[in-house]
Amino acid sequence: MHDQRGAPKGAPFFGVMQMAQLRLHRDLSYCRVDDYLVFLDIQNDRYFRLTGCLASALVAYLDDGDAPSSSVRKLIERKILVRGPVDSDCASLPLTKTPTHSAMEESVRTRRATLSELLDTLVIVCSTHRQLKTRSLKQTLGNLSSLREKRTSQTSMSRPSEVRALEVAAAFRSARLYVPIDMCCLLDSIAMIKFLAKRAVHADLVFGVTGDPFSAHCWAQYGTAVLNDALGHALALTPIKVI
């Protein structure tokens, strides 16, 4: 960080900002789709695109800190770049394994849910549905992360087998059919991850997008296994954020 005490009186704001370290806003994540960047803004619960020179300037700045000042100014004005050191919370590209199979397409994993699993699924889906209606996406995802870390860290350090993860996911999918709330990828993926976490299984929530026409989707994933979607559908999307 450069010392700003020697800056001349009346120096433009951007002159100071240029000398400071900039990073991607913590609430933003992005991926490249076709010839542009697609962003997910969890604070404002929206997606948006960045094209042309601004997209190139952002990538250049995040890669090596060098980009045209006019473009950097616009990125600051749009609150895409903000002051502050880069840290692990500001990763621009999602980290997840490319899925290779789907639990829904492996009939050997299916089984009927028990009564306790039915009741637990009902409670989790209803509470998640209410949370999505009354809280921001950022709050909802933050609560999901906290709950999952708390639940999965209380068990041994050994990672549950994929067989175990697929069996628990199958129980949730079976029980979910009896909950009288319309299915939705965000609602059901979050609810499934909570259900898994209560059983000491740490699954990821993966957001993905397509280009033209634009579409957005999310799913639960354990390792390389998609837990609540078809493999082909997941592979057709470009991951933009992983929780």
Q: What is the pLDDT of residues 187-227, one digit of tens each?
A: 999 999 999 999 999 999 999 999 889 999 999 999 999 99
pLDDT at site 10: 42
Residue 65 amino acid letter: G
Please check the confidence at residue 101 and state whether its pLDDT lies above 50. Answer: yes
Q: If pLDDT is split at 50, 70 and 90, which confidence band does 130 have?
A: very high
State the average pLDDT over residues 114-125. Answer: 97
Please check the confidence at residue 91 and state whether its pLDDT lies above 90. Answer: no
Q: If pLDDT is split at 50, 70 and 90, which confidence band does 3 have?
A: very low
Residue 186 lies in a domain: yes
pLDDT at site 66: 87
Please check the confidence at residue 149 and state whether its pLDDT lies above 50. Answer: yes
Residue 145 lies in a domain: yes
pLDDT tens digit sequence for 34-84:
889 999 999 999 999 999 999 999 999 988 888 999 999 999 999 999 988
State the average pLDDT over residues 98-127. Answer: 89
Residue 96 lies in a domain: no
CB 172 within 8 A of CB 233: no
Between 102 and 94, the more confident residue is 102
Cα(107)–Cα(232) distance, integer angstroms: 17
Check whether residue 148 and residue 209 sit in a common domain: yes
Please check the confidence at residue 89 and state whether its pLDDT lies above 70. Answer: no
Residue 3 lies in a domain: no
Q: How many structural domains comprise the chain? A: 2
Residue 95 lies in a domain: no
pLDDT at site 20: 60
Check whether residue 136 and residue 67 sit in a common domain: no
- Residues composing the chain: 243
Check whether residue 120 and residue 196 sit in a common domain: yes
Which range has the worst mean pLDDT, 15-24, 34-43, 140-149, 162-171? Answer: 15-24
Cα(142)–Cα(6) distance, integer angstroms: 40
pLDDT at site 233: 96
Check whether residue 177 and residue 229 sit in a common domain: yes
Residue that finishes a domain, picked among 90, 117, 138: 90
Residue 107 lies in a domain: yes
pLDDT at site 99: 96
Check whether residue 115 and residue 152 sit in a common domain: yes
Check whether residue 110 and residue 209 sit in a common domain: yes
Range of the domain at 213: 101-242
Residue 110 lies in a domain: yes
Between 54 and 10, the more confident residue is 54
pLDDT at site 61: 92
Residue that finishes a domain, picked among 64, 90, 116: 90
Cα(207)–Cα(225) distance, integer angstroms: 15
Q: If pLDDT is split at 50, 70 and 90, which confidence band does 7 have?
A: very low
CB 78 within 8 A of CB 190: no
- Which ranges constitute the DSSP H helices of the chain? 13-19, 52-64, 69-77, 115-134, 137-153, 162-176, 185-197, 231-235
| Angle at 181 (CA atoms; ends 129, 138), nearest 5 degrees | 20
Check whether residue 109 and residue 78 sit in a common domain: no
Cα(67)–Cα(3) distance, integer angstroms: 21
